[in-house]
Amino acid sequence: MCSIFSISRGRGWALVCLSLWFTLGGKAFSQSSPLCPEGTYWYTPLRLSQGERKLAVSGLIDTGCSFCVVDSTFAVDSCRLSGAALTTSYTRAANGDRVKVHTCVLDRVDFCGTTFLGVKCLVVDLKGKFFAYAPNFIVGENLLSAQPLCFDLRNRRLSVGEREGEPAVVLHWQTRESRDGTFTKGIYLKGRVGNKKVRFFVDSGGRYNKVNSDLLPAEGREQMDLPRGDISRALRVQQVQVCRNVETKVDDWTTRLNFVLTDQSKAVLNFDFLRNTVFVLDYDRREIRIKR
């Protein structure tokens, strides 16, 4: 989402990955999952298991979340998680506010042909903050980083492993871990907007691309009313400035994007800069490999 969902990593949180795909001659074979676009968001089907309950759910792909997130109403009503299964902790919203949340451990999550056992999740009141935009489940970096994932945005398919063929462009990212442990990975790419250097945070769960207003000239700006919010404040319509069709360089990849202008120093990109491409997201090598 527009927020960075993250939390201190405690001892005893084990992520066990049982791979349902196999390798042969260096190639990975797996089931693929559909990718379903909704505006700038991308969803994929998953199966959650908790005790005897097995639930099919559409999960939002979110590189801005360190951990998976379950909506609190869905967690109680559908997953049947009791208060005893929840642990109180804290995370940070996109605006930097420290927010009280809960954590849980789901018995099993089946995601893109791979089974994950003992999956740590945040439990957040998504419906109460984002209303109709809120998903029941967010796929965070603890699943996304487990293995290379190929996003075929042209054909709307997600699969595990490398796609054949040489990449046209390889984007090398940096990462960071906060001192207090509230943020554990993160994708940061160097780039330029309006011929000015910028460092992008890649948040595929972000509704808008955002940059500081000082990076772009005053002419060509539009005033728009857009819904905005995060886990510290409910969604509400705000008047913002927007610049359209801005030439943007992301590492060695050049494209044109629309930006919401902010007073924040951090620039944010969703997956719009990769639209109509096929790319591999590889956390081990810290690369986005855009295929030919």
Q: What distance in Å separates the CA atoms of residue 220 and residue 185, rounded to the nearest whole number?
A: 35
- What is the rounded distance in angstroms from the CA atom of residue 109 to the CA atom of residue 121? 11
Q: CA-CA distances (angstroms) from residue 138 to 4, 73, 91, 121?
A: 12, 14, 15, 9
| Tens-level pLDDT at each residue, the chain (292 residues) | 433 333 333 323 333 333 333 333 333 345 789 999 999 999 999 999 999 999 999 999 999 988 999 999 999 999 999 887 888 877 777 666 777 888 999 999 999 999 999 999 999 999 888 888 889 999 999 999 999 999 999 999 999 999 888 889 999 999 876 555 555 678 999 999 988 999 999 999 999 999 999 999 999 899 999 887 776 677 788 999 999 999 999 999 999 999 999 998 889 999 999 999 999 999 999 999 999 7
| Residues in contact with 234: Cβ distance below 8 Å, sequence separation at least 6, in sequence order | 128, 129, 131
What does the pLDDT read at residue 184?
63
Q: H-helix or E-strand containing 203?
A: none
Q: What is the CATH number of domain 167-291?
A: 2.40.70.10
Find where tokens 């451990």 sit: 105
Half-sphere exposure of residue 179: CA atoms within 13 angstroms, side-chain side: 0
Domain boundaries, the chain: 16-160, 167-291
With residue 280 as reference, give the H or E element that holds it. strand 278-282
To the question of domain 16-160 being in CATH 3.40.50.300, the answer is no
pTM listed for this prediction? 0.86
Nearest CA to 276 out of 148, 149, 144, 151 is that of 151
**Sign of the CA dihedral with 251 first, then 253, 256, and 259 last:** negative
Check the CA dihedral 139-271-183-171 and report its sign. positive
C-beta separation of 115 from 238 below 8 A? no
